[in-house]
Structure 1
Amino acid sequence: MTAFQDSQPAIEAPPPDPAAPAPAEPSVTGGPSVTGGPSVTGGPGRRARLAGPAAFAAVAVVMLVVMPLALEPFRLGLLAKYLCYAIVALGIGLAWGKGGMLTLGQGVFFGLGGYAMGMYLKLHDAGGDLPDFMVWSGVEKLPALWGPFGNPAFALAMVVVLPVVMALLLGALVFRQRVRGAYFAILTQALAAALVILLVGQQGLTGGTNGLTNFFDFFGQDLAADSTQRGLYLVVALVLGVLYLAAWQLVRSRFGRLLVAVRDGEDRVRFLGYDPATVKTLTFAISAGMAGIAGALFVPVVGIISPALLGVVPSLELVVAVAVGGRYALAGAVLGAVVMGYAKTYFSEELPEAWLYLQGALFILVMTLAPKGLAGVAAALRHVRTSRRAAA
């Protein structure tokens, strides 16, 4: 074949015609540049790319500037609580929406982060003595488990380390056995129920049913002061923004595309040489770390952490919130948590006897008319608007 090619005469290109127009230079956007016409870079593609960052900047301004000025301290505290739930929902959206792992036990990781922060606050308020609930329970010596949590650096580290390590261990045991779907969901739900039973049964160690409460100081700041509550709100909003950007970048990365591929065809990904168990375990651990951070922020914002806040029912409510907002979009998961939190507060204030039914009706209405949630409705409206604009 090589000899045949060498024996062929070289074909010379014809000389260029001076009268012919010069070929178009390739543009930065990947197509030929058009002279005398509208700029390619100013079309709808660029507007679509800028829409996401512009919307994020607008939401950041509203959350960080407008809300602290417009809301009274009580309502601002409620919004901070909703944002704590939104951080958990962001992790659920990452694990369930992008990875296909329906986790019904995020309350476990939320509780681990919350109890780590609550233990530090109780020891700090006690000033070296036993926490009040231990005195009431007849405990005479501080348990060894509580000792390290008197160090704020250790407590803050455990807020993330404990949920992540537990998620890594659970993922390594479960995903290696190819447990998925409803079986994985039931397993996480059982884990949440078991943790609640454990916490309730250890009255002298965890506070039992009442949990940890009566916090007065947060790193030198009076928790009852309005300025402290506004500062906590800003901290929660900033943490949510940072974690959202990190999750958004993760989804857009190669790992994120691999995660979606595992969700849509796990066996195909395995045949291509990747390990779906590793991808799912890492994603599950990231979502657990987000839930732990949310639990740690929830404690000073609300002033309590108890088994009632991290059992099966709260975990299911968070999954419902993600479904209402739209589990396939990270912004939809955050929006769903805020909307469901506000709906729960509004219905319980205005219609205390029927708010559970109204909340359930809201979920059924959204799931029936918009299976992809509120984010799916917004995407459909944008598609219609873009189609009309293109047709015009």
Structure 2
Amino acid sequence: MTKLKPRLSLLGIGVFAVLLLGVAPVVLTDHWLGNLGKYCCWAIAAVGIGLAWGRGGMLVMGQGVFFALGAYSMAMHLTLESAGDGVPGFMVLYDPLAPLPAFWEPFRSPAFTLAAVVLLPVIAAGILGFALFKRRVKGAYFAILTQALTVALATLISSTIRETGGDTGLSDFKYFFGFVLNDPANRTLVYLIAAGLLVVCLLVVWQLYRSRFGELLVATRDAEERVRFLGYDPANIKLVAFVISALMASIAGAMFVPIVGIITPAEIGAAASILMIAGVALGGRASLFGPALGAMAVGWGQSSLGSAWPDGWTYILGLLFVVVILFFPKGLSSVLGRFTAARRSPGERPPAAVSAEATAAPELEGVKA
């Protein structure tokens, strides 16, 4: 795999930040700025998937679980903030005299809510990843297990109508940590927070890719047994990437709630998790910007084309991915690399890449040294 050019990548992040934080709030209407904020949330989750899947080789098809942990933590706080000292309205409909469930009460605190957004996915992903990676569960089995957990969580939330709103979900949020959400200035502020978090996630992943950990992660993906023979535990390496990916998904879910104004099981289920994977595959899972741009493109298609042509959008998405898999298996980000390589003269072209199996040991010995 071609190594990222650090300065060029950092410059790209800077340009991306200027476009999101400086240009977009000026040129876009409130409607499109809100949509862009929603796409930024999906892009945050996609950046984490790119780290775990693109660099670590873990097909994480259950990111809906961690997206839900962040989303419902934030939604519960915003619901209680809107209800004041009372009980949320949807609970009163089923039982006017019912008290607030005990697990809701701590979410009245903003500090506890923010801590839950960060700690819940880290703990859950740490326990799940430790159990799976230490038993060397990988490939299709890992993907199926993670997606099964997503389906189970979505089903559980759908069945707990009195506690979580069921299929109707949680909505009608009026405040965001004291700021009135109906105020356009405050909605712009929420968008800027989401866009800023996306830029921060890109910076974190950029640093990880060029670090020793990033080299070990790629080596684990390509030659796991050689990594083990050289004294490293691949399970620990994959666990770190998995936990970081889960944390990014939770942050994405937490920001999705005030921007969209609703969270339901449909936003966290198997279909939503597959859509996240689809965006990463479209953009290019192993690149820095590919997952984010791919997720934003798929989000735009779902919001625009999907609302205008609900039946046709599914076929368009399917056709798009068939074309990408056949002609651009590394995603659309590989098109630029092909174009650059095609412009080089034959004498300037780099030699054919040696297989990862043959080069993993020397690279790792340098890392270990």
Per the normalisation by structure 1, the TM-score is 0.85
The equivalent position to 1:109 in structure 2, one of 47, 66, 85, is 66
User: What are the residue-to-residue correspondences of 1:288-327 with 2, within 5 Å?
Assistant: 288-327=246-285
Residue 52 (str. 1) matches residue 9 (str. 2): yes
Q: Quick one: distance in 1 between partners of 2:245 and 2:306?
A: 30
Kept in 2: contact 1:114–1:299 (CA 8 A) = yes
Match of 2:75 in 1: 118
Q: Deviations over 1:8-48 (max 9, x none)?
A: xxxxxxxxxxxxxxxxxxxxxxxxxxxxxxxxxxxxxxxx6
1:75 aligns with 2:32: yes
Find out whether 1:248 has 2:206 as its counterpart. yes
Determine whether 1:212 maps to 2:159.
Answer: no
Residue matched to 1:276: 234
Q: Distance in 2 between matches of 1:56 and 1:242?
A: 9
Q: Could you say which residue in structure 2 is the equivalent of 1:29?
A: none
Query: SS of 2:286's equivalent?
Result: coil
Does the alignment pair 1:347 with 2:322?
no
What is the CA–CA distance in structure 2 between the aligned matches of 1:104 and 1:53, rounded to whole Å? 29
Letter in 2 for 1:85: W
User: Given residue 205 of structure 2, which amino acid in structure 1 is its aligned partner?
Assistant: A
Q: What are the superposed Cα offsets for residues 113-143 of structure 1, whole Å, 9 maximum, x if unpaired?
A: 0000011111111111101111112161111
Superposed, which structure 2 residues align to 1:50-199 within 5 Å?
Answer: 50-138=7-95, 140-199=98-157
Structure 1 residues 123 and 49 mapped into 2: Cα distance closer, same or farther (>3 Å)?
A: closer
Cα distance in 2 for partners of 1:128, 1:272 equals: 58
Q: Any idea what the Cα deviations from partners look like across 1:302-326, whole Å, max 9, x if unmatched? A: 0011111000010001101100000
Tell me, in whole angstroms, the C-alpha distance in 2 between the residues paired with 1:276 and 1:322. Answer: 24
Q: Which residue of 2 aligns with 1:260?
A: 218
| Deviation (angstroms), 1:380 | 1.7
Higher relative contact order (CA 8 A, sep 6+): 2
CA-to-aligned-CA distance 1:349-380 (integer Å, 9 cap, x gap): 44344111112112222222211111111222
Q: Does structure 1 conserve the Cα–Cα contact (< 8 Å) formed by 2:13 and 2:202?
A: no
Deviations 1:84-137 (A, max 9, x none): 000000010000000000011100000000000011111111111101111112
Which amino acid is 2:11 matched to? A
1:4-83 paired onto structure 2 within 5 Å: 50-83=7-40
**Percentage of identical aligned residues:** 49
Q: 2:335 aligns with which of 377, 380, 387?
A: 377
| Secondary structure of the corresponding residue to residue 354 of structure 1 | helix
TM (norm. structure 2) is: 0.90
Q: Give the 3-state SS of the residue equivalent to 1:373 in structure 2.
A: coil
**Is contact 1:347-1:358 (8 Å) kept?**
no
Separation in structure 2 between the aligned mates of residue 367 and residue 237 of structure 1, nearest angstrom: 30
Q: Aligned with 2:90: secondary structure?
A: helix
Aligned to 1:39: none
Question: Quick one: distance in 2 between partners of 1:375 and 1:186?
Answer: 27
The size of the alignment, in residue pairs, is: 345
Task: Give the superposed CA RMSD.
Answer: 1.7
Answer yes or no: is the 8 Å Cα contact 1:344–1:359 preserved in 2.
Answer: no
Given that 2:208 and 2:214 are in contact with CA atoms closer than 8 Å, whether structure 1 keeps it comes out as yes
Is contact 1:206-1:212 (8 Å) kept? yes
Specify which of 318, 323, 326 is matched with residue 360 of structure 1.
318
Q: Which amino acid aligns with 1:124?
A: E
CA distance in 1 between partners of 2:216 and 2:311 (Å): 47
Take 2:44 and 2:193, find their aligned partners in 1: how far apart are those partners?
A: 12
SS of aligned partner of 2:314: helix
CA distance in 1, matches of 2:52, 2:260: 26
1:211 Cα deviation from its structure 2 partner: 1.3
State which of 172, 178, 187 in structure 2 corresponds to 1:229: 187
Checking the alignment, whether the CA contact within 8 Å between 1:110 and 1:292 is kept in structure 2 is yes
User: Which amino acid counterpart does residue 292 of structure 1 have in structure 2?
Assistant: S
CA distance in 1, matches of 2:151, 2:14: 40
